[in-house]
């Protein structure tokens, strides 16, 4: 499992169209649980859906949403599950959250939901975290965003102002 953080060099963070492009659209291969979401899409149906405690979208549904409106996500955890994982299984565990979750900043890097294979986190609209069991996805993300950093290395480095 590997992770990356992107907090430098972009005009905006957590714009999913660029993130999906960077990971070669593999998001389509997952179902996505979206939790702890703060975002402000113009499309009222998106705002209503994402304003719930959680929502589950197929990779195609999430991709279509982003293609229609690539709004910035302020806070959110997007947990990707294999298409064979049922919602009732997902909901047996605590819902992932971004705001206040301290484990992002500790090693080893882990995905919050034990059944998820990939996690994309919008962190206060100032950074994006990508964590995946598939290291190639993280490698693709890092290549597309050369100012991104390995999350474990980031966690080991001294910072003048810690995220928490």
What pTM value is reported for the model?
Answer: 0.94
Q: Long-range contact list for 93-97, CB < 8 A, 24+ apart?
A: 95/33, 95/35, 95/36, 95/53, 95/54, 96/33, 96/35, 96/36, 97/35, 97/36
Write down the pLDDT at residue 164: 52
Percent of the chain surpassing pLDDT 90: 88
Question: CA-to-CA distance for 32 and 119, rounded, in angstroms?
Answer: 9
For the chain, the residue count is: 164
Q: Which residue has the tokens 């882990």?
A: 110
Write down the pLDDT at residue 10: 77
Write down the pLDDT at residue 13: 76
Tell me the pLDDT band of 76, cut-offs 50, 70 and 90.
very high
Average pLDDT over residues 82-86: 97
């Amino acid at each position: 499992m590997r992770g990356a953080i992107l907090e430098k060099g972009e005009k905006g963070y957590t714009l999913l169209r660029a993130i999906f492009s960077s990971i070669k659209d593999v998001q389509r291969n997952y179902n996505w649980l979206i939790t702890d979401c703060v975002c402000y899409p113009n499309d009222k149906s998106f705002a209503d859906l994402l304003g719930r405690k959680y929502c589950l979208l197929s990779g195609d549904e999430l991709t279509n949403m982003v293609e229609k409106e690539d709004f910035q996500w302020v806070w959110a955890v997007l947990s990707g599950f294999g298409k064979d994982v049922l919602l009732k299984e997902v909901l047996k565990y605590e819902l992932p959250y971004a705001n206040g979750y301290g484990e992002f900043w500790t090693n080893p890097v882990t995905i919050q939901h034990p059944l998820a294979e990939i996690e994309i986190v919008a962190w206060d609209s100032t950074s994006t975290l990508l964590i995946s069991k598939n290291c190639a996805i993280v490698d693709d993300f890092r290549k597309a965003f050369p100012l991104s950093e390995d999350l474990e290395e980031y966690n080991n480095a001294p910072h003048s102002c810690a995220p928490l």
